[in-house]
Every structure is written in C-alpha cells, then in structure tokens.
Amino acid sequence: MSDVSVRFAPSPTGSLHIGGARTALYNWLYARHCGGKFLLRIEDTDKERSTPENIRIILDGMRWMGLDWDGEPVMQSERIGIHRPLIERLIDEGGAYRCTCTKDELDAKREAAQAEKRKYLYDRKCRDAGHGPDCGEHVVRLKMPVEGEIVVKDLILGDVTFNAAELDDWIIARSDHSPTYNFVVVADDHDMGVTHVIRGNDHLNNTPKQLVVYQALGFDIPAFAHIPMVHGPDGKKLSKRHGASAVTELREMGLLPEAVRNYLARLGWSHGDQELFTDAELIEHFDVANVNASATVMDFAKLEWINQQKILAMTPDALAERLLPYLIERGYSVEAGPWLTTLAANIQERFKNLVEMADHVRYFFEEPSAYDEAAVKKWFKADTGAILNEIADGLEALDPFDEAGIEGVINGVVEKHETKLGKVAQPIRIAVTGSSISPGIFETLALLDKERSVARIRKAAAHATQHQAEKQG
C-alpha cells in the first residue's frame, strides 16, 4: 500500500450534491489509482444544521455511487479531545493568542471600516498583549503573517498567491472554547494522515489560513488540489431546475452508478478522447493533476447517453438485477429469475434508463386500462376483430406456448388473410400493451403467458368489432 491518504469531508447540512459526489469520486479514484487510502470524515460540527438524516443520505449516496471508503467514517464533532490541546499548544508556543476584545468594540470598528468603504480586518490589538488563561472571556486568534505572500501550491491550479495583508488574525477558538472550522480541518487532516487534500475550489480561500496553521503547528503540509465547481448549462450553480442536483435524484432518474462515475470522472478530466471507461480504466488512468482548471457544465443528455451505452454493454442477467428494485418500487409482483432476465434482454436496446424501462413494462404486471386512441384509429380495421379472434383461438391451442409456436400461429393467420405481419402485429400490441409500442410481439406474448395473451387479444377483438360498428353506424 502506498502512503497516499485522501479524504472526502462532507458537511451533513444537506444531501449529497452532484458536485460533492464528483469531489468524492476524484478522491476515491486517486486513492485507488495510487493504492492508497480513501477516508471519510463527516464534518458535523455545525450542530444546528447537521442532522442524522443528512448523514444517512450522504452515506447511502456514497454507497450507491460505489465509493467505498476505508475504515470507519470519522465524526468531527467527537474529536474535541484532539483539537483543544493543539490550541493550548499554539498559545504556549506563541503561534496564537487570547483576545479579549468585546463584541461591541469589534462591531464599532467594523462599522467604521464600512463607513470608510474599507475592508474590515481585525486590528490585532491583543496580538502582543500577552493575555494569560485568567484574562476573562476571550477568543483565541491565530498569528497570521503581517506582510508578504502566502502561496498555495495547487496540483490543478498551479501557484495561487494570496496577499498576507488581506488576511487578519482569525479566530481559531470561540469564547466557549469550541475550535473553529478552518482550524479543525487542519487538525483532523493531520491526525488522519491525509497526504492530498482534494476538495471543491469553493474552499480555496480557506487554504492560506489553513497553511498558516500547518506551519504554526510544525505539521507536514499536504498536497492540495482544488477542483472546479459543477455548473448548470446557464453557468449558475447546479440546481434541481437544471435536471437534478442531488445524487438521490440521479438514482430516481434511472441512471446506473457506473454511468454516473464514468460521466462525472470525464467531466473536467480526460484521457485522450475516450468517453467510455470501465472502473478499472478510470482507476488506471486517473490523476488529479490532470483535472481541468476551468468550471464544468453538467450535460444531462451526455450522461444519459453514457447510461445507455452501459445498459447495452451489460449482460441481461446484470440488467435484470439492476431493474428489479425499480419494478418492486412500482408495486409489480416480480422476482429475479429466467423470466426477468428474458424481459431484460428484450428491452435492453430500447431504453436509455431504468425508469423508462420500468415504466414501459407495466403491461406485464397490469392489464392496460385503456387503448391509445390514435393507435386504435390507425390500426383497427374492418377485419381486425375477426383476425384477433382467430389468433386468440390459435394461441389457446398452442402447447408449449413459446416464441416459435406463437410466430407460427400469427404467420398462419397473416397468410390466410393475405395481409402483412405489421398490419396484424400492431393490433396485437395494442391488445396486450394498450399502445403500439413494445418489443418484438412474439417475445412479448411469450413473456406475458398464454392465459393473459389470449384474454387481452379477445378483449381487443371485441373492442375492434364495436369500434367498426360505431364507425359505420
């Protein structure tokens, strides 16, 4: 095993977003590529906004995405015992100091800065005051460099330079002693042995602050890689309005996790002009340093195309297994087995996602409640009632009720009436599915079984006869 350790560190203040899932994926791919560790840390220190329900949704989303993490998830809120001594140490060593400035005092200074249209920065009044532990109510501030530059060496963005004069001595522990976010991230990343911090570039502005904590504590500085945000086609932050924004919605759209992995990996990263990757190929080729620095735009049509390619590449058995939960969710009585595998094989080439498939096959589980009017108008002719009844008779006598036998019966009727298969097949489709769209008619009838096929064809025959009578009357 290499010594590379990366982590995904979601805040459970909402669900797992597509952008977050991509950050997780890049961490996972990089860890697997290097033979290192992929760790998970739940940043649940915001007690009001972090909920157990959100934690569950995030973990489920990670599992659905197939992003398995190493070891137990680390809960940030349970690690105060690690954070607190580090703050004491920083004060003792002079890297941080107690600040007793009151809220009123700071508010007045902030207002004065605003009035003068100046950016407000803490004026470092307590920096050299040497306040001891008994100074009364206080916060703890980090001594930031007063001048010069802080350079973030980023694997994707290159060197990003921050002017020290624009950053103040920020608070690392509040007056209730609780450590603040940017401090805790460093303490945890160091404690967890993180070697590469791969995260969204919405955190880039935190990095210079975090770098100073690393330096003050004498910790090794990890490599940083800030990955660009995922936007909607209009350039705005991705939201449900663009199609979907949460990972749960991707599942609800009938997408396969391997398609989502392939698409999100390819979004902002490439390997030549290859579009379709197996997981093994992604792991082999992915390097975080090759991620594109510019913002990326979510293209749901392309995601769906990849999904279709993954569906086509599956064995019918595998497809059946993936389809099954969608069928059960719709209340259909169905189980895994040869019947379902045959169904999967018959519809595999026709649909782009599992939802379209599951919705389409409803007629195998429920009798169609009505016939598509336009289809009836187009395909039910004067002789349709008689033809359908003859086919029903033939099918009823068939034993075994299999595709070849069904084909024989239908072709026999077609020949007898000197018509064409298409003209007969469409009314049968309408009879069994309610509309004129279905996979091959012989396969469909075989899957439906004899009893239901015959009953539906007879019912449609009656309807066709009545339809003609109405037309003439």
Q: Catalytic positions, please? A: 240
| CA gap 379, 426 in Å, rounded | 7
| CA gap 151, 158 in Å, rounded | 10
Closer residue to ligand GLU, CB minimum distance, 43 or 390? 43
Q: Is 203 in the site for ligand GLU (CB under 6 A)?
A: yes
| CA gap 98, 88 in Å, rounded | 10
- The residue whose Cβ lies closest to ligand GLU is 199
Closer residue to ligand GLU, CB minimum distance, 54 or 341? 54
Chain residues 368-397 in contact with ligand GLU, contact rule CB under 6 A:
none
Q: Is 61 in the site for ligand GLU (CB under 6 A)?
A: no
Spell out the residues 6+ positions from residue 134 whose beta carbon is closer than 8 angstroms to its own: none
Q: Which stretch binds ligand GLU (CB under 6 A): 8-16, 308-316, 365-373, 379-387?
A: 8-16
Closest CA to 17 of 167, 238, 186: 238
Closer residue to ligand GLU, CB minimum distance, 88 or 202? 202
Closer residue to ligand GLU, CB minimum distance, 206 or 419? 206
| CA gap 260, 405 in Å, rounded | 42
Closer residue to ligand GLU, CB minimum distance, 10 or 427? 10
Q: Is 205 in the site for ligand GLU (CB under 6 A)?
A: no
Judged by CB under 6 A, the number of residues near ligand GLU is 7
Among 5, 10, 79, 209, binds ligand GLU (CB under 6 A): 10
Q: Is 188 in the site for ligand GLU (CB under 6 A)?
A: no
Closer residue to ligand GLU, CB minimum distance, 41 or 322? 41
Q: Minimum distance from CB of 255 to ligand GLU (Å)?
A: 23
Task: Provide the token pair at 268.
Answer: 């902002």
User: Mask: binding to ligand GLU, 24-43, rule CB under 6 A, as x and -?
Assistant: -------------------x
User: Mask: binding to ligand GLU, 132-171, rule CB under 6 A, as x and -?
Assistant: ----------------------------------------
**Cis amide linkage into residue 52, ω under 30° from 0:** no
| CA gap 307, 313 in Å, rounded | 10
Closer residue to ligand GLU, CB minimum distance, 42 or 428? 42
By DSSP bridging, strand 37-42 and strand 74-75 are parallel
Q: Which stretch binds ligand GLU (CB under 6 A): 5-13, 30-38, 328-336, 430-438?
A: 5-13
Q: Which stretch binds ligand GLU (CB under 6 A): 7-15, 253-261, 372-380, 457-465?
A: 7-15
Q: Is 11 in the site for ligand GLU (CB under 6 A)?
A: yes
Spell out the residues 6+ positions from residue 94 whose beta carbon is closer than 8 angstroms to its own: 143
Closer residue to ligand GLU, CB minimum distance, 8 or 351? 8
Q: Minimum distance from CB of 6 to ligand GLU (Å)?
A: 10
The b/e string for 292-330 (b: 16+ C-beta within 10 A; e otherwise) is: eeeebebebeebbbbbbebbeebebeebbebbbebbeee
| CA gap 13, 201 in Å, rounded | 19
Task: Provide the token pair at 303.
Answer: 């995601």
Closer residue to ligand GLU, CB minimum distance, 40 or 216? 40
Q: Which stretch binds ligand GLU (CB under 6 A): 6-14, 247-255, 280-288, 445-453?
A: 6-14
Q: Minimum distance from CB of 7 to ligand GLU (Å)?
A: 7
The b/e string for 390-401 (b: 16+ C-beta within 10 A; e otherwise) is: bbbebbbebeeb
Q: Is the dihedral of CA 64, 313, 299, 156 positive or negative?
A: positive
Among 4, 5, 6, 9, binds ligand GLU (CB under 6 A): 9
Q: Minimum distance from CB of 10 to ligand GLU (Å)?
A: 5
| CB 15, CB 46: distance < 8 Å | no
Among 67, 185, 250, 306, binds ligand GLU (CB under 6 A): 185
Among 199, 209, 226, 463, binds ligand GLU (CB under 6 A): 199
Q: Minimum distance from CB of 181 to ligand GLU (Å)?
A: 8
Q: Minimum distance from CB of 203 to ligand GLU (Å)?
A: 5
Chain residues 41-60 in contact with ligand GLU, contact rule CB under 6 A:
43
Q: Minimum distance from CB of 220 to ligand GLU (Å)?
A: 17
Which residues of this protein are in contact with ligand GLU, per CB under 6 A?
Answer: 9-11, 43, 185, 199, 203
